[in-house]
Structure 1
Amino acid sequence: MSQVPFPPTPPSSTPPLPSREPGADSVVAALRAAGCVFAEEEARLILTTARTPDEVTAMVARRVTGEPLELVVGWAEFGGLRVAVEPGVFVPRRRTEFLVGQALALAPDASVVVDLCCGSGAVGAALATALGPVELHAADIDPAAVRCARRNLAPFGGHVHPGDLFTALPAALRGRVDLLAANVPYVPTGEVALLPAEARDHEPRTALDGGPDGLDVLRRVAAGAAHWLAPGGRVLVETSAHQAPSALRAFTRAGLTARLIVDEDLPARVVIGTRAP
């Protein structure tokens, strides 16, 4: 499911909530009054996810106050999968599917995969689904993300490690990683307050704030990646248009061959670093 647009400012009055046993029309009306652009689709997802009328009412109440739809229903669609998400965990963006697609095109036979800054583990799950049996590891500094990722990666035999970037990984992975995906935070600190409320108010700041220019975590990933990649292994990181030149320089300075792949329609930009064979 895509990130659903929500108005930048809340409505001036509290929208009506559906009755105790809400039907589709009352749910749509409540969501539309709250400013949900895709009210009919959101209502369908809520009504098919909720198990009781009381759950419908509670979900609608959460949504009309601005909570992301994915957190309300408890899952997000990513790479054809239904990925569990929980309050306090970063919601995977559909544009990040571009990073997954590039990784699979570059290394269709990868056998050791790492998902850094894994959040819900959506990237790791999508890669493992496409690649088949792999040795899958993921890491995140946020305990809520680690719990959620363990839930999503358990079907793939994935190992989820709590900690800060590479320090969380088992030493035995050094020099063995074929694919390293790092969905790092890259919003400059001064711009976090300008994010839509559903991200700013409901997602962990550690998953959004990339430091003064947004590249603090990316630089750390670039600096450490070569020690963990297998010969010819790749590291992929999402970035923005204005950050891309600096991101490329960070990878090059770390001794990696770097290039930028762009999809303007999403829009999405992925920096790919390759360790020499």
Structure 2
Amino acid sequence: MSVGSRVDKALALLRQLPRVSLSNVESIPKPRKRMDRGQHGGKTHGCGSKGNEARQRWLPLGFEAGRVPFQIRYSRERSYNYGWHAKRQYPPLSLHKLQLMIDTGRLNPEQPIDLAAISQSQVFPIQPEDHHFGVNLTAEGVDNFDAKVNIEVQHASEEVIAAVERLGGTITTAYYDIFSVKALVHPTKFFQSGKPIPRRMFPPADAIQYYKDPKNRGYLADPKEVAHERLVLSQKYGYILPDISENYLKEYKDTRQVFYGLQPGWVVNLKDKVIYKPLDKDLLDYYQS
């Protein structure tokens, strides 16, 4: 490379670089001065003559000095939890706890288990005021689970579905709106209010695909596709799919039904032990639509 090309290249590089000034020129590095000690010029060793720092009394972690509160000193920042009140919460219920509830008599495995049965066991609280829309059945304790049940939950993984079906049980994932959840969690209080049983609302747009999928055993899925997926899952996990013969294993709810054996629109009178059913055609069309 000739001298002329080197000079041209250096000049072209200098044209692209910023102008040299005091603002972008670093100072000459200086050696770090060692703090003297004691009578050799240390004096107070940089901690002052009096006060908390001189006496090694440091402020506690997180202490706010001054008189202006934190929320006034700094400007407002948008919350990162925007929309949290609209989020549906599903508290986890493990197979281990479900088996324990069955072994201790809190749940009857020969009856369909739904949100009402789980809530009335008094060992697994469901709080609708905390945005609880149901339960999420988890796989913890899957190796010790040995109960044949007909259970309805809101979320379940593939491993949980296989654990229930390999023992001859059935599982369904179903959606309940917040008003239906309140009625299921506190059925006695709801019946005493004298209100008719509400019809269950359909899932919102972000959840309807989950409950239409037969792999999730969704309550909106085609029963023929669900039966096919039961067979596919048994072949995947290597177990023989048991035959469902008991009547309680075949019992299921309608897409608008909230309670087993009770239809939307009925009014339950606990005092007189009477059920009032609507006869008006418009009411029947409304609750059955």
Task: Give the structure-1-normalised TM-score.
Answer: 0.22
Task: Give the structure-2-normalised TM-score.
Answer: 0.21
Structure with greater proportional helix content? 1
Structure with greater proportional strand content? 1
